[in-house]
Amino acid sequence: MYMKYNCNLYGIKGSASMEFMQKADEMRKNGEQVLSLAGGEPDFNTPHKICEAAAEALKLGDTHYAVGKGILPLRVKIAEKMRKENGIECTEEEVILTPGGKFGIYMAIFTLINPGDEVIVFTPSWVSYIPMIEACGGCAVPIELDYHNNYMLEEAEIKKRITDKTKAIIINYPNNPTGRILSWEEAEILVRIVEKYNLFIISDEVYEKIVFDNRTSISIGSFSSIRDKVITVNGFSKAFAMTGWRLGYTVAAREITEMMYKLYVHTITGTSPFIQRAALKAFECEAEVQNMVMEYERRRNFFVKELNKIEGITCRMPEGAFYAWVRFDTDKSSEEVAAMLLAQTGIVGVPGSSYGEENETCMRFSFACTMEVLEEAVRKMKRIQF
Ligand code: PLP
């Protein structure tokens, strides 16, 4: 049958969080009062020294193609960070700089998937994994995690969904939208499964630095027995408030990296050299990152505590990332609740169904916004009639 466009693209939906961010913008332009808690980006500016380094690199004319996997000093820094902070044994030859973590995830999926291969995604999940798998001709296998079990991975449930077509599992910790981080027990489940069924893991760790209550995030690639089966994806967007710079990276065994590089070199060539130069300064921004995380934690503490005081609303303390995953005790769907909230209060959040949560009525609200916005949101939510 003649298909005008790539058949993999027909069923793909837009990004829900982007849609809601745009909606908030439109409403604002029309003079309506909106409180946007839909976005997925830090409200802080990029640390000054990173901006200055970019300006300096531009002045010096660092504006040509950056050929290769990324500039060497940055790849060396990232490999060192991965060894020291994440416990992942790797060299700079196993690092590729990508335009955002997002392209790294796409490149990883594209590299692993043949038509019809199955990829396990745990839901609720970030909105882009399933569309990316489908765009690559793969078949997404969502495994619904249970709200009442705090979205813990369950070995038996995962095993039930593995077939001879299962190729990979995508994980994301700290998690968007639930705010969970991976426990040791869950990491061990994943290691056992990868070993037993010879699978790959794509581990999206873009929120790695945003963890609370002195927690640390576990990198699954640090388990040496499966090191060569893991593609770790990370980036500068969330930790360093650099969403608009579009810089991320992948870390994977040499063989996988060389395969990914084939796609990379023929699609994006490389990321901007002056942005990579600036990103080197990110490794000197520990204090700035710590300040941002402390502020997220302060907002989280306030927001979650206040939300839980509202009848019919429950919210667990997120362990990482900057989202409150809020459950509404109602028969209404999450889209209906989102529409009601918007109409009655002007609050914009993202309905849980966008993340694949079908059993509970949940919504995601970002607390990467000012305290004033959160205070106002809480005041307004208290008045809502469900
Ligand atoms: N992964 C998750 C879970 C995200 O929430 C996002 C952004 O919202 C990304 C990856 C992509 O981030 P970036 O491409 O800006 O590095």
Q: Residue 19 Cα, ligand 1 centroid: separation in angstroms? A: 15
Ligand 1 site, residue 204, Cβ cutoff 6 A: yes
Ligand 1 contact, 39 CB (< 6 A): no
CB of 83 closer than 8 Å to CB of 90: yes
CB 40 near ligand 1, within 6 Å = yes
Paired tokens of 321: 């990332």
Residue closest via CA to ligand 1's atom 7 equals 40
- pTM, to two decimals: 0.96
102 lines ligand 1 (CB under 6 A): yes
Which pLDDT does position 262 carry in this prediction? 97
Point out the least confidently predicted range of 27-31, 35-39, 130-134, 187-191: 27-31
Reported as a pLDDT band with limits 50, 70 and 90, residue 228 is very high
Is 122:143 a contact under the CB 8 Å cutoff?
yes
Residue 26 in this model has a pLDDT that exceeds 90? no
pLDDT in tens, 98-124: 999 999 999 999 999 999 999 999 999
User: Rounded to 5 degrees, what are φ and ψ at 261?
Assistant: -65, -30
What is the residue with the minimal CA distance to atom 9 of ligand 1?
102
Contacts of 19 (CB under 8 A, 6+ apart): none
Cβ-Cβ contacts under 8 Å for 23 (sequence gap 6 or more) = 38, 342, 348
Cβ proximity of 100 and 248 under 8 Å: yes
For residues 92 and 68, is the Cβ–Cβ distance under 8 A?
no
CA-CA-CA-CA dihedral for 199, 11, 271, 323, to nearest 10: -80
